[in-house]
Structure 1
């Protein structure tokens, strides 16, 4: 019987490389194509995972299992030329498409409940089962700028609540009802959208330098010393280097209070990964980088330039009659910054209090209690009257 020819020797196959870390993160998320959303179920028990600020990982509150977030070491934070971005906005290639004020309803893939995304909200929790849900159609839209980076949340809810309570309790004249924020208000973690600007400027200026001097004038009883200013022309060229200037790109927030949370450690930002947002609210931008630069960043840069000019002029007083600034570098980065937001509706008006999600610093607005203020005024008047009576009695 004829034997079949022997099989050729098999060449050893090289071991397969593990998938990239970015792919591992994508595999961990459950993509819901029909709803254009993603969730993060636990691989052990199926419960939703959420990013833990304290542990810096994805954690399951049900079974306690944790999943590390491993970023691709070759990934870098990218910055963009603002002029190129402005051209893209002018051509309509990117901008604010598909968000402005609309509502988007999705079906939760865990419980079947319906969740509504309003406006620029891109990540939330299902109100029925608390499953973190992220919209993919906004962040992946070719008509919008892609996220470049994120500074992950580091202040957990217990620390944030402690900071809020300490801040509220120190507001002596806040209404008693306002201090019951646990039942009156909404307290949640949120990532807000920011642009971080870099600029190298060269400014030529003309102005005057003023030096003070004193002279003695008059005679006799009218003899006195007067301070005068001696002015002389001044001109020159100054250069400014601005790095990581953060500007909020969301609307509906108290921008002045939020700015008081600065400085932000922009240099610690890492390439954006949606895992950092799991379990927390997140908003995409409401304003484009051109508008934010013109209205917010440019005035702050001009203020820094003016300070540099005055320092260059020197003297006791400075006058700036003209200046001309050119930009050798002007670029931006689109990123998310974390904070905790308390919103309390009191007497028909919303009051917002913000906690820096990295340092725990608190800034916000509070109402004033008319009753407490009136009581304090009456108490002060009583003290004044008693003191006046005692003084009058001694005299």
Structure 2
């Protein structure tokens, strides 16, 4: 089950009393009514790396540092936190109305860092409109949806990141290519060709190093996968978590537990170790018979990364479109218009028929 919240830490405009919202691409809160702006004070210390073993063995994976209010969507299962001054709210994933009687309370491990939105909704809508306009055979309804002012929502996606020291000992083989001439028979007689062969020698050794920021999506991956084309982030732009950055945006609560996220991160660490081993063995190709991989001094962070999302329903099927709120890259599934394809085929057939008639 997905869980989403909105910031509970609302701040009023000192000038007119309206709610201040985060201004993407800055470190400021902005009043949409009078234009008043207020800076978000930056923490002088870097965001904290948490000791993984302490949380998994001592605190427990159900540990939390804050309680939030969540509103359940009965259509798709998403849970969203609603700000007190709302009039109405639709689910960010499926667009269905949310019911105030369904408010629930849950705890979570507070994020340690986030990448603030760099694109405002106006810029994101322009990117989305351009992308939709370039889609062949897109339904006209989809193109109109790209212009809808309420059709695009800013969403902070939860991730776990893991750091550790990695040590691995290995046994394997190094393969070096060499070539031999080979004679073979053809219709024109005997010919020769170069055949590549591999000379194998035993190899063993150790590799070690620091693994930084293995990134694991902490949201449940069923109906709402984030396309890999947009899931690329410059983590050097992470800033210490401040709830003011959430103002005006929806924030999803993690549903992949810390324990499961750690399990997934070990698989990524294993891939990194195997790449280091292949490089250490050298040669043209390598075989790894076995590798004993150990991680130490493991730490983790809960971070939030920015995405714009648009949900669209066509012929009874739901489609999602995503824009990276930091980089501006766009991706998503898309519907095709049957009638546009049908009439194009008819047009091609008519053109071919006319060419055939005048060619006689």
Aligned counterparts, 1:60-79, within 5 A: 60-73=31-44, 75-79=45-49
Structure 1 residue 41: Cα displacement: 2.1
Q: What is the root-mean-square deviation of aligned Cα atoms in Å? A: 3.5
String of CA shifts for 1:185-232, please: whole Å, max 9, x gaps: 731111121112212211122222222222223377334222222222
Specify whether residues 159 and 203 from structure 1 end up closer, same or farther in structure 2 by C-alpha distance, changes over 3 A only.
same
Residues 227 and 147 from structure 1, CA distance in 2 versus in 1: closer, same or farther, beyond 3 angstroms?
A: closer
Residue 157 (structure 2) pairs with residue 198 (structure 1): no
In the superposition, the TM-score normalised over structure 1's length comes to: 0.72
TM-score (normalizing by structure 2):
0.79
Q: In 2, Cα distance between the equivalents of 1:383 and 1:309?
A: 60
Of 245, 251, 264 in structure 1, the residue corresponding to residue 233 of structure 2 is 264
Instruction: Note the C-alpha offset of 1:299.
Output: 2.6
- For residue 199 of structure 2, give the secondary structure of its aligned residue in structure 1: strand
2: CA distance, partners of 1:63 / 1:284: 32
Aligned residues: 332
Unaligned runs of 5+ in 1: 1-35, 106-117
Change (3 A) 1:388 1:310: farther
Q: Is the 8 A contact 1:201 1:328 kept in 2?
A: yes
Paired position in structure 1 for 2:174: 209
- Check if 1:229 corresponds to 2:179: no
Q: Which stretch shifts more, 370-379 or 229-238?
A: 370-379
Q: Find the partner of 1:94 among 63, 67, 72.
A: 63
The correspondence for 2:54, drawn from 60, 84, 101, is 84
Aligned counterparts of 1:309 and 1:386: Cα–Cα separation in 2: 64
User: In 2, distance between residues paired with 1:97 and 1:61?
Assistant: 29
Which residue is equivalent to 1:333? Answer: 301
Structure 2 distance, partners of 1:275, 1:266, is 20
* Greater gyration radius: 1
The 1:293–1:348 alpha-carbon spacing in structure 2 relative to 1, beyond 3 Å, is farther
Q: CA 1:370–1:268 in 2, change beyond 3 Å: closer, same or farther?
A: same
Gaps of at least 5 residues in structure 2 are 1-6, 90-102
Task: Provide the secondary structure at the position in 1 that maps to 2:140.
Answer: coil
Q: 1:328 offset after TM fit, Å?
A: 2.5
CA distance in 2 between partners of 1:273 and 1:86 (Å): 25
The 8 Å contact of residues 197 and 330 in structure 1, kept in 2 or not, is answered as: yes
Partner SS for 2:57 = helix
Q: Please tell me whether the aligned partners of residues 164 and 212 of structure 2 are also in contact (alpha carbons under 8 angstroms).
A: yes
Distance in 2 between residues matched to 1:38 and 1:211, nearest whole Å: 62
1:299 correspondence with 2:267: yes
**Structure 1 residues 380 and 224, CA gap change in structure 2 (3 angstroms):** farther
CA distance in 1, matches of 2:111, 2:184: 74
1:11-42 Cα shifts (integer Å, max 9, x gaps): xxxxxxxxxxxxxxxxxxxxxxxxx9543222
1:93–1:285 distance in 2 versus 1, CA, 3 Å:
closer
1:149 to 101, 105, 113: 113
* Alignment correspondent of 1:162: 126
Q: Which residue of 1 aligns with 2:27?
A: 56
Q: Deviations over 1:77-136 (max 9, x none)?
A: 0011222221146x465169988x97479xxxxxxxxxxxx8553465854289xxxx99
Match of 1:351 among 294, 316, 319: 319
Taking the aligned partners of 1:389 and 1:231, their CA distance within structure 2 comes to 67
Go from structure 1 to structure 2 and tell me whether the alpha carbon gap of 1:46 and 1:137 turns closer, same or farther (over 3 Å shift).
farther
Corresponding residue of 1:244: 213
Provide the C-alpha distance between the structure 2 equivalents of 1:379 and 1:373, rounded to a whole number of angstroms.
10
Query: Following TM superposition, by how much is the alpha carbon of 1:155 offset from its aligned partner in structure 2, in angstroms?
Result: 0.6
Q: Of residues 263, 287, 296 in structure 1, which corresponds to 2:256?
A: 287
Aligned to 1:11: none
Measure, in 2, the Cα distance between the counterparts of 1:184 and 1:148.
32
Match status 1:322 vs 2:281: no
Partners of 2:14 and 2:142 lie apart in 1 by 42
Q: 1:370 to 1:69 in 2, by over 3 A?
A: same
CA distance in 1: counterparts of 2:237 and 2:289, whole angstroms = 40
